[in-house]
Amino acid sequence: MSWFRRSRENIAPETQKKEIPEGMWTKCAQCGEMIHKTELEQNSYTCSKCNAHFRIGSKEYIEILLDSNSFNEYDRKLRSTDPLRFTDTKHYRDRIPEAIKKTKLYDAVRWGTGTIDKRPVVFAGMDFSFIGGSMGSVVGEKVGRSIDKSLKSKSSLLVVSSSGGARMMEGALSLMQMAKTSAKLGRLSDARIPFISVLTDPTTGGVTASYAMLGDINIAEPGALIGFAGPRVIKQTIGKDLPPGFQRSEFLLEHGFLDMVVHRKDLRNTISQLLSLLTS
Amino acid sequence: MAQAILDFEKPIIELEQKMEELRRYADNPDIAKELSRIEKQVTQLQQSIYAGLTRWQKVQLARHPDRPYTLDYIGLITKDFVELHGDRTVKDDKAIVGGFAWLDKYSVMIIGHQKGRDTKSNLYRNFGMPNPEGYRKALRLMKLAEKFKRPVITLLDTPGAYPGLEAEERGQAEAIARNLLEMSRLRVPIIVVIIGEGASGGALGIGIGDRILMLESTWYSVISPESCSSILWRSWDFKEQAAEALQLTASDLKKQGIIDVIVPEPIGGAHRNHEEMARILKETLLDELGHLLKIKTEKLIERRVEKFSKMGATSG
């Protein structure tokens, strides 16, 4: 416990979260527009009125970015072994099956091979819905294997990130996944195979401080929260409200950490153009 | 030395003070006898106390304000240290120090987090919490070492990378990520030593190497016990449990296959005897360096990447 406290008076409450929509009609959390399911899908899960990007998972990104039916998943059932037998208010060994049941996924990333406009790619997409997209051994291992595959097959790597950071329940082993993925990306870089990193809302902590920031090309969706420390921690540290737009995609673009901010509807096209320019 | 005393150190300190008093009358045979009895008692007490420390108590030892810091080790184990400054882009980060020095017969690049000892020096060092410039300075120095074929030694001791507004503006995440990638393929040997606190990405940012050493009473994990408590228990009061759950001590990390060597500390901890601690560390470093310098560069890098690739626990 710290021996002094900062006043909370000048700290505003957290903003609302955008969630994956359910049912036929969805209300946009940003502008309040009611959007029909079909329209939402056609718009790549963005609001046609205000352009808000809804949080989606790896399944949707596979549909949006890859040629239809081209995706071939690897290591689907790879799961954590709870190496520390970690317990907080809950056992980690109970959290995992709960998350599996809720998301129909085995961990927070899905990887495989596919094509974009017939060009082969290795794809890894994260799922924020699985324990906050946190990176433990499984995420690190699967992203690592996707890099290995990219290296071996000499096809470009595309990673779509969405993560709250490293997974606490695997302690230092989670931390080492940052080392693992970055070291492998060094090999990929030496082999001159393109790596495109797409950062979506939110990408923070250990994922940002490893593979997500290491793309040859870094692309973010509009308005995505991207950073190392979470805004709440920074607010507490400096004891002030954060400026509007802080740690959002546009802010990172302005400060030189992204190559571009691309609307989700244009993402596939942009990536395809880049792949053509880099690999033809 | 003005000593900060942790709760579990108190009985030892009390006995030691009693011993000091008795020493003044040591020419009296009865007192000499009593003295040797107390000496034995102190040794036994120390052994039993330090063998039974909880993980939280080890965290406290790792943060002990009298522990040697990076510049203390540099002063004690190297000669002719020339400190180098700045990242050549924004500024010189005082929370990370580094430069060339002689470690015995080897000219090495030695880099580490630097904490302060009082309020003034802690503000100057930002409590050992680097901004992006710190990581970029470290990388610049490592590249310099690579250019002149000098091995790198890094000393880790940080409560974390600084979570500030400007740190984010200048790309804290990118700076750390870049170091992880570049360190993994640096073409000279790297030895990493956790000398105090190894808090998360802030520590790992200078923590990729061929051999990872950890002093006996230090911690290294993905998050501090306090922050872990606040997030998972939604209260600051569960730091002891969080420390247990995180399994963050040297012996824990050895079991998890993350570190290679536990460097023993003098009885009572590094803060009780800086010279002895430095001697043990220097000996270990020389031994490790001797082995690493025999390995061909390509093989060294191959092994380094493989080393981190193996870390993790998955099935299926």
Q: Which of B52, B68, B83 is the C-terminal boundary of a domain?
A: B52
pLDDT at position B1 is 46
What is the reported pTM?
Answer: 0.94
- Is the domain of B30 the same as that of B66? no
pLDDT average, residue stretch B270-280: 97
- Which range among A62-71, A155-164, A234-243 shows the weakest confidence by mean pLDDT? A234-243
- Specify whether the CB–CB gap between A145 and A175 falls below 8 A: no
pLDDT average, residue stretch A25-30: 91
Question: If contacts are CB pairs under 8 Å, which of residues 275-304 in chain B contact chain A?
Answer: 304
pLDDT class of B20 with cuts at 50, 70, 90: confident
- Quote the percentage of chain A above a pLDDT of 90: 89
Strand A109-116 to A119-126 pairing: antiparallel
For residue range A228-248, list pLDDT tens digits in order: 999 999 998 899 999 999 999
- Is the domain of B75 the same as that of B184? yes
- Shortest distance between the Cα of B243 and any Cα of chain A, in A, equals 10
Question: If contacts are CB pairs under 8 Å, which of residues 248-277 in chain B contact chain A?
Answer: 248, 252-253, 256, 258
pLDDT at B286 > cutoff 70? yes
- Specify whether the CB–CB gap between A184 and A147 falls below 8 A: yes
pLDDT class of A9 with cuts at 50, 70, 90: low
pLDDT at position A98 is 97
- Tell me which residue of A85, A136, A72 sits closest to A109, measured CA to CA: A136
What the block records as the tokens of B84 is 């180098």
pLDDT at B18 > cutoff 90? no
* Residue partners of B78: CB distance under 8 A and separation at least 6: B101, B102, B103, B108, B110
- Specify whether the CB–CB gap between A223 and A262 falls below 8 A: no
- Shortest distance between the Cα of B210 and any Cα of chain A, in A, equals 12
pLDDT average, residue stretch A133-144: 98
For residue B316, tell me if it sits in a domain. no
B187 interface with A at CB cutoff 8 Å? no
Structural domain boundaries enclosing B294: 57-309
> What's the sign of the alpha-carbon dihedral B248, B254, B258, B263?
positive
- Tell me which residue of B138, B135, B143 sits closest to B171, measured CA to CA: B135
Mutate to test the interface with A, among B142, B303, B309, B315 (most CBs of A within 10 A): B309
For residue A7, tell me if it sits in a domain. no
pLDDT at position A21 is 54
pLDDT at B38 > cutoff 90? no
pLDDT average, residue stretch B13-35: 85
User: For residues A2 and A57, which has the higher predicted lDDT (pLDDT)?
Assistant: A57
Collect all residues of chain B within an 8 Å Cβ-Cβ radius of residue A77.
316
For residue range A74-85, list pLDDT tens digits in order: 999 999 999 999
pLDDT at position B141 is 98
Map residue B192 onto helix, strand or coil.
strand
Radius of gyration of chain A (CA): 19
Q: How many domains does chain B have?
A: 2
What the block records as the tokens of A126 is 């994260």
* Residue partners of B121: CB distance under 8 A and separation at least 6: none
As to burial, measured by CB atoms within 10 angstroms (0-12 exposed, 13-18 middle, 19+ buried), residue A202 is buried
- Is the domain of B142 the same as that of B225? yes
- Specify whether the CB–CB gap between B300 and B189 falls below 8 A: yes
Query: Which residue does chain A place closest to B226, by CA atoms?
Result: A1
pLDDT at position B46 is 86
- Is the domain of B21 the same as that of B147? no
pLDDT at A192 > cutoff 60? yes
- Is the domain of B44 the same as that of B99? no
Are the Cβ atoms of A228 and B180 closer than 8 angstroms? Answer: no
Nearest to B232 among A89, A187, A257 (CB): A89
pLDDT at A271 > cutoff 90? yes
SS3 letters for chain A?
CCCCCCCCCCCCCCCCCCCCCCCCEEECCCCCCEEEHHHHHHCCCECCCCCCECCCCHHHHHHHHCCCCCCEEECCCCEECCCCCCECCCEHHHHHHHHHHHHCCCCCEEEEEEEECCEEEEEEEECCCCHHHCECHHHHHHHHHHHHHHHHHCCEEEEEEEECCECHHHHHHHHHHHHHHHHHHHHHHHCCCCEEEEEEEEEECCCCCCHHHCCCEEEECCCCEEECCCHHHHHHHHCCCCCCCCCEHHHHHHCCCCCEECCHHHHHHHHHHHHHHHHC
pLDDT class of B163 with cuts at 50, 70, 90: very high
Average per-residue pLDDT for chain A: 93
For residue A267, tell me if it sits in a domain. yes
Q: How many interface pairs between A and B have CB atoms less than 8 angstroms apart? A: 205
Are the Cβ atoms of B247 and A227 closer than 8 angstroms? Answer: no
pLDDT at position B15 is 86
pLDDT class of A22 with cuts at 50, 70, 90: low
Q: How many domains does chain A have?
A: 1
What the block records as the tokens of A69 is 């039916």
Nearest to B173 among A137, A184, A208 (CB): A208
Collect all residues of chain B within an 8 Å Cβ-Cβ radius of residue A180.
308-309, 311-312
Are the Cβ atoms of A183 and B256 closer than 8 angstroms? Answer: no
For residue A200, tell me if it sits in a domain. yes
Nearest to A166 among B173, B205, B222 (CB): B222
Terminal alpha carbon distance of chain B: 55
pLDDT average, residue stretch B79-94: 97
- Specify whether the CB–CB gap between A144 and B309 falls below 8 A: yes
CB-CB neighbours of A11 under 10 Å: 15
What the block records as the tokens of A93 is 């060994």
Structural domain boundaries enclosing A66: 57-279
B22 interface with A at CB cutoff 8 Å? no
Are the Cβ atoms of B316 and A106 closer than 8 angstroms? Answer: yes
For residue A76, tell me if it sits in a domain. yes
Please provide the size of chain A in residues: 280
pLDDT at position A212 is 98
For residue A125, tell me if it sits in a domain. yes
- Is the domain of B43 the same as that of B62? no
- Is the domain of B71 the same as that of B142? yes
For residue B315, tell me if it sits in a domain. no
For residue A219, tell me if it sits in a domain. yes
Radius of gyration of chain B (CA): 21
Angle at the Cα of B259 (from A89 to A203), degrees rounded to 5?
Answer: 55
Are the Cβ atoms of A209 and B169 closer than 8 angstroms? Answer: no
For residue B253, tell me if it sits in a domain. yes
pLDDT at position B170 is 98
- Quote the percentage of chain A above a pLDDT of 70: 92
- Is the domain of B44 the same as that of B158? no
Average per-residue pLDDT for chain B: 95
- Shortest distance between the Cα of A101 and any Cα of chain B, in A, equals 17
pLDDT average, residue stretch B166-190: 98
pLDDT at A140 > cutoff 60? yes
Q: Which DSSP state fits B80?
A: E
- Is the domain of B19 the same as that of B132? no
Long-range contacts, stretch B275-281, CB < 8 angstroms, 24+ apart: B275/B76, B277/B68, B277/B215, B278/B68, B278/B72, B278/B73, B278/B76, B278/B77, B281/B73, B281/B77, B281/B193, B281/B195, B281/B215
User: For residues B23 and A116, which has the higher predicted lDDT (pLDDT)?
Assistant: A116
Query: Which residue does chain B place closest to A181, by CA atoms?
Result: B309
Collect all residues of chain A within an 8 Å Cβ-Cβ radius of residue B165.
234, 238, 242-243, 246
Nearest to A210 among B177, B220, B231 (CB): B177
* Residue partners of A106: CB distance under 8 A and separation at least 6: A76, A77, A78, A79, A100, A138, B316
For residue B219, tell me if it sits in a domain. yes
For residue A9, tell me if it sits in a domain. no
pLDDT at B29 > cutoff 50? yes
Map residue B217 onto helix, strand or coil.
coil
- Specify whether the CB–CB gap between A53 and A264 falls below 8 A: yes
- Quote the percentage of chain B above a pLDDT of 90: 83
Tokens 């056992």, residue? A91
B143 interface with A at CB cutoff 8 Å? no
pLDDT average, residue stretch B191-200: 98
What the block records as the tokens of B248 is 């963050």
Nearest to B180 among A77, A87, A210 (CB): A210
- Is the domain of B233 the same as that of B276? yes
- E-strand ranges in chain B read 79-83, 96-103, 106-113, 152-158, 190-199, 211-215, 219-221, 261-263, 314-315
pLDDT at B254 > cutoff 90? yes
Instruction: Give the span between the Cα atoms of B173 and A161, in whole angstroms.
Output: 14
The enclosing domain of B220 has a CATH number of 3.90.226.10
The enclosing domain of A143 has a CATH number of 3.90.226.10
pLDDT at position B106 is 98
- Is the domain of B65 the same as that of B138? yes
pLDDT at position B234 is 92
- Is the domain of B35 the same as that of B94? no
The amino acid occupying position A244 is P
pLDDT at position A3 is 58
- Tell me which residue of B113, B189, B103, B92 sits closest to B145, measured CA to CA: B189
